Amino acid sequence: MGSLDRKRYVRERVGRFAVWAQARLLECVLGAALIVHAAPSHAEALSPRRLVEVADLGAPVISPDGTRVAFRLEQASIERNRYDCFWYVQSLDGTSPPLRVADGGTVLRNSAGEPLAASVTWSPDGRWIYFIASSQDRVEVWRAAADGSGAAAVTHDAADVREFSLEQNGRVLKYRVGATREQVLGAELDEYDRGIHVDDSVPIGQGLFRSGSDGGRLATQRLGTWFDRVPLLADAPSHWKAVDVASGETRDLAPSEIPPAPPAAPALSGAFAQAWEPEKDPAGRRVALLTRVGDGTGLLEKPDVQLSVLADIQGHAQAVCTSAPCTGKEITSVQWRPGSDEVLYTVTDPAEGLAQSIFGWNTRTGDVREIARSRGLLNGGRNRSSTCGLSSEVLVCVAADAGRPPRLVKIALRTGAQQLLFDPNAALAQDMARAMPVQLLRWRDAQGRQFTGQFYPARRSGKGPAPLFITYYLCPGFVRGGVGDEWPLVSLAEHGIAALCINQAPYRLDAAERYGAGLSAIESVVQRLVAEGKVDRGRVGMGGLSFGTELTLWTMTHSDLLAAASISSPGISRQYYLIGSMRGAAFFSGLREFWQAGAPDETPERWRQLSPDLNLDKLHIPMLMQLPEQEYMYTLDFAVPLIREGLADLYVFPNEPHQKFQPRHKLAAYERNLDWFLFWLMDHEDPDPAKAAQYAHWRSMKMRAARSAGR
């Protein structure tokens, strides 16, 4: 998979990789992308490019004999505008570096642009790992030798594989598929030739023919739940097949042979109906549950999580964890320790900036013990609910916090002792430690609500308080650029603009209350930072994606706090309503529930409160709009008037969904956001001749704004 690309990759990148002490590591390092620029200049030490090229680790799974771990590495390549993806196997004794055993193909993503969770299955004898990969527009199950001697596809199906199960002691692989690739391509071309009939399933507002990514290729899309996208024929019946691993012979499965689905919340009854992700013990007898409890009036979710164990899926003999470490905590994942009565659970603590700790609950004695505590994420990747690799003796987790990028660590279950196994971002971590003392801020607003955020103090070249950039939504792990990774926080701070990523308050269903809480968090922390002499009240900028965009627009229209803004997705406007109304009842119901709005002529006061196009007179600061092609048309009712007034600058990124994922687009968004806030908050221009037109346009915007203010 990708052998030609790999050769070019070696030539282009070998000079940028660290070499481990062991002689055999050269092969591993070339794939792991352990970047060590020989001597980056001060201006480049924490550049946007280095943030885009952070190596992410995920899906650690320990071998059946407990001696090795398999995991995946993903890293952006600006040159090839793709993500390099590799599978590794490493011994848990820590004496040897990880061994690259397979190319992971094209990173598969959901319709919002987020990477799908990777998963890997070991063969019972520990000789092989199995995983789903996309290569040459085919999604198949692949098998790689754990000793690195080779990898090959196991399935050769006419349809893309959706899931698989290894059974009969590793001799049989069962897998599920839907419509064939030929059928999907044929349906796309038939629409192209005959014209696409627009109904409530068609995602109007984006290209209608092969404009979204699916399975590693550009595909025609339809709308699923809310505004999620799915490919054509996604609703075609799926069916299961089995392949004999030794012979390659494939057959269809009878209904009785289909692997049982894992227990799901709908299968539970009564008090357990609101549980999520039930986790069976390895013996298949007991079920561990996480259930939302407490008074959820006005909230999207009930405020607390209850951990319990059932003797079976019907809910007999329930045991509830009542110890203080598991009561009133934000528990986000749960696992059974093999061969024991212990359930391991992860707490993601809002009061500690979403830092994670892992505990063990003995379901027989009721005892709870702390196993590990971190300053950031400690799980199976960037998703807060992902789980570590687990054996009866150790955990293997991906650790990442605001001041240090992802690395792989081993944790002894009995003692909690930690050992670093693999650190592909060591050079960046060292530069961060030297140059960027990230601080966890805690504060309360006037109503007593507690907030947290990661604060990046500005490097100051002169006297006086620094400008401040704020993004609001979620800030777990190694933050980079807020949700969606659009604003290079450490790069802003290195160039003299303090940066703050704020964790949202509990999500309230009433839109005005929800946005009001966010604005209150921003105003109160700015007041504190100004009082401490750290930031300049007259030079505050803000940016956000999704809910972060909504709050940025709300802050612009309901306060005089900001001097410049940047958004990367639509807000709730009348154009959004027009396009969304094609969805019919589901859209109208969601609009009522989350924004308390009907049609614009039905609830005009609510729209006056929410819609930017009805508040153009309040949008008087410069706004950069870097939007995905799938969504930019939702903004035109307020974007076009602002562009004509010289108050907005709009860029649209082709073939991008809600969250941009193409590396060159990510880098362009990072660099333009850095330039934008340096220009508006510090009057700084990059002398690069390639940016001359950009700055000429922004200077024109500044002059027009000055003339308007003088009228």
**What CATH number does the domain containing 355 carry?**
2.120.10.30
Q: What tokens does 549 get?
A: 């965009």
* One domain for residues 318 and 223: no
Beta strands (DSSP E) in 304-449 are: 304-310, 319-320, 331-336, 342-349, 355-362, 368-373, 377-379, 389-390, 394-401, 404-412, 418-422, 439-444
User: Does 74 map to a domain?
Assistant: yes
Domain count, the chain: 3
pLDDT at 169 over 50: yes
DSSP 8-state code for residue 17 = B
Type of residue at 239: H
Q: What tokens does 259 get?
A: 């692997």
Calculate ∠ Cα 31-35-40, nearest 5°: 155
* One domain for residues 200 and 308: no
CATH of the domain at 692: 3.40.50.1820
* One domain for residues 376 and 442: no
* One domain for residues 405 and 441: no
Of the chain, the end-to-end C-alpha distance in Å amounts to 63
Per-residue confidence (pLDDT) for residue 315, from 0 to 100: 57
Per-residue confidence (pLDDT) for residue 225, from 0 to 100: 86
* One domain for residues 314 and 445: no
User: Does 100 map to a domain?
Assistant: yes
Lowest mean pLDDT among 270-274, 370-374, 411-415: 270-274
User: Does 588 map to a domain?
Assistant: no
Give residues with Cβ within 8 angstroms of 710, minimum separation 6.
Answer: none
Q: What is the pLDDT of residues 53-70, one digit of tens each?
A: 999 999 999 999 999 999
pLDDT at 270 over 60: no
pLDDT at 42 over 50: no
pLDDT band at 32 (very low <50, low <70, confident <90, very high): very low
Q: CB–CB of 172/218 below 8 Å?
A: no
Q: What tokens does 697 get?
A: 């346009």
* One domain for residues 420 and 434: no
pLDDT at 20 over 90: no
* One domain for residues 164 and 221: yes
* One domain for residues 564 and 695: yes
User: Does 42 map to a domain?
Assistant: no
Domain boundary among 424, 450, 482: 424
For the residues 457-467, what does the mean pLDDT come to?
87
Q: Directed axis angle between helix 663-682 and helix 692-710, to 10°? A: 40
Per-residue confidence (pLDDT) for residue 482, from 0 to 100: 93
Max mean pLDDT among 211-220, 368-377, 456-465 falls in: 368-377
* One domain for residues 500 and 630: yes
* One domain for residues 412 and 520: no
* DSSP H helix total and E strand total for the chain: 14, 37
* One domain for residues 140 and 210: yes
User: Does 603 map to a domain?
Assistant: no
Expressed as residue numbers, the domain containing 457 is: 429-573+611-710
In angstroms, what CA-CA distances link 463 with 467, 496, 677, 684? 12, 11, 19, 16
- Sign of the four-CA dihedral 677, 563, 552, 524: positive
Per-residue confidence (pLDDT) for residue 33, from 0 to 100: 37
Q: CB–CB of 358/388 below 8 Å?
A: yes
For the residues 620-642, what does the mean pLDDT come to?
97
The alpha-carbon radius of gyration of the chain (Å, integer) is 26
Lowest mean pLDDT among 32-36, 60-64, 274-278, 429-433: 32-36
For the residues 263-271, what does the mean pLDDT come to?
52
User: Does 363 map to a domain?
Assistant: yes
What is the spatial distance between Cα 645 and Cα 491, in angstroms, rounded to a whole number? 30
User: Does 92 map to a domain?
Assistant: yes
Q: CB–CB of 284/275 below 8 Å?
A: no
User: Does 595 map to a domain?
Assistant: no
Cα-flanking dihedrals φ and ψ of residue 66, to 5°?
75, 15
Domain boundary among 226, 255, 284: 255
Q: CB–CB of 627/652 below 8 Å?
A: yes
Domain boundary among 400, 424, 448: 424
* One domain for residues 190 and 229: yes
pLDDT at 293 over 60: yes
Share of the chain above pLDDT 90, in %: 85
Type of residue at 233: L
